[in-house]
Amino acid sequence: MMKNKRVELVKGDITSLEVDAIVNAANSSLLGGGGVDGAIHKAAGPELYKECEGLKGCATGEAKITRGYGLKAKHVIHTVGPVWYGGYRDEHVTLASCYQASLSIAKKNKIKTIAFPGISTGVYGFPKDLAALIAVNESNRFLKKNAYPEKVIFVAYDDESYETYRKLLDQ
């Protein structure tokens, strides 16, 4: 039972969601990779790769927007999360920046619904519980001050992640 009507939690595949934008946990080239990034590129098709080539990459902690092409989502917001080095390189600050940058792009583009995966929690090794806490806190902070996006959806790929988010959102 979640208190915030503007925040939702779903378990499943982010590439199958019918939303205004999904967030891609991208690498700095924006040209696809493993995990969520590879799945989004595969589902969107070759046009996404072509558009991303023109963006000339993205710095860690920043975000860029493209069309969704073959996805049900109209747009993809690509953000580059930090690699986890034990917390000694301000990774938490950089991850918070990923959420703020993605949400700012959503606001600027009047995106009503945005879905986030667990940024940096795959091969980049960010602890899932800490990443979820940052995701929820940054999203709530942004939503308090802004009309857009109207809804933030956290997408958990597995039971463990789902439970982590559910506990945070129930507080």
Question: Which residue among 13, 20, 37, 159 is the active-site one?
Answer: 37
State CA 45 to chain mean position distance. 19
Mode of pairing for the β-strands spanning 151-156 and 7-11: parallel
The token pair that represents 136 in the structure block: 């929820």
| Residue 170 falls in the annotated catalytic set | no
Cβ contacts of 131-134, under 8 Å, gap ≥ 24 = 131/95, 132/161, 132/164, 132/165, 132/168, 133/168, 134/92, 134/95, 134/96, 134/99
Q: How many other C-beta atoms can be found within 10 angstroms of the C-beta atom of residue 5?
A: 8
Torsions phi, psi for 22 (to 5 deg): -110, 150
CA-nearest of 141, 46, 123 to 82 is 123
The set of catalytic residues is: 37
